[in-house]
Amino acid sequence: MYERLYAAVDTRAPEFTLMNENGKNISLDAFRKGKKLVLAFVRGVDDAHTGEQLDYLKDDYERFTYHGADVLAISDGSISLNKALRDSHKLPFHILSDPDCTVIKAYGLYNRYDKLIGPAILVLNEAGVILFRYEGKNPSDIAEEEEIIKVLEGDTQSRPGWPEKG
């Protein structure tokens, strides 16, 4: 059994270092360098659902960077699978490899059957504090990009009644 550390809204995101699709180590804090971050957890498989999530992150990448954020994806897949995904989808962001699910577990997203409970998105502020957390219930359940943009604009889950409709 492992110690379940739950990375909740309004807590500092657990630090980690993982290898990207080129085998280079990337640490969370060094990559962030004081900027906001959209942290996406994707399944380590090359299927339609993973492709859909990666493509929507790619399509909204410019909107995210406009609001001062960068994107990092994490999968339980191998470095070679992540390289193939990044190349085939022409992604402008890295996919980090977490094959033993250490980071997935630290973020409270582990499922012993599928490894990842479902696609997940976290938004971190410049200090590394989690402002938004979305856990998909199944492989096709992904966060709405408008929710992410609202958070990057300063509307967070910390506020009572979030999100306001209207």
Model pLDDT for residues 4-38, shown as the tens digit of each residue: 456 888 899 999 999 999 999 999 999 988 899 99
Find out whether 110 and 102 touch, Cβ atoms under 8 Å: no
Going by pLDDT thresholds of 50, 70 and 90, the confidence category of residue 158 is low
- What would the two tokens of residue 39 be? 């942290």
Indicate if the pLDDT at residue 154 is higher than 90: no
Indicate if the pLDDT at residue 137 is higher than 80: no
Rounded to an integer, the average pLDDT of 137-155 is 83
Find out whether 49 and 140 touch, Cβ atoms under 8 Å: yes
The model carries a pTM of 0.88
| Whole-number pLDDT of residue 49 | 81
Indicate if the pLDDT at residue 1 is higher than 50: no
Find out whether 13 and 122 touch, Cβ atoms under 8 Å: yes
Indicate if the pLDDT at residue 112 is higher than 80: no
| Whole-number pLDDT of residue 19 | 97
**Number of Cβ atoms within 10 Å of the Cβ of 160:** 5
| C-alpha to C-alpha distance for 130 and 124, rounded to whole angstroms | 4
Indicate if the pLDDT at residue 70 is higher than 50: yes
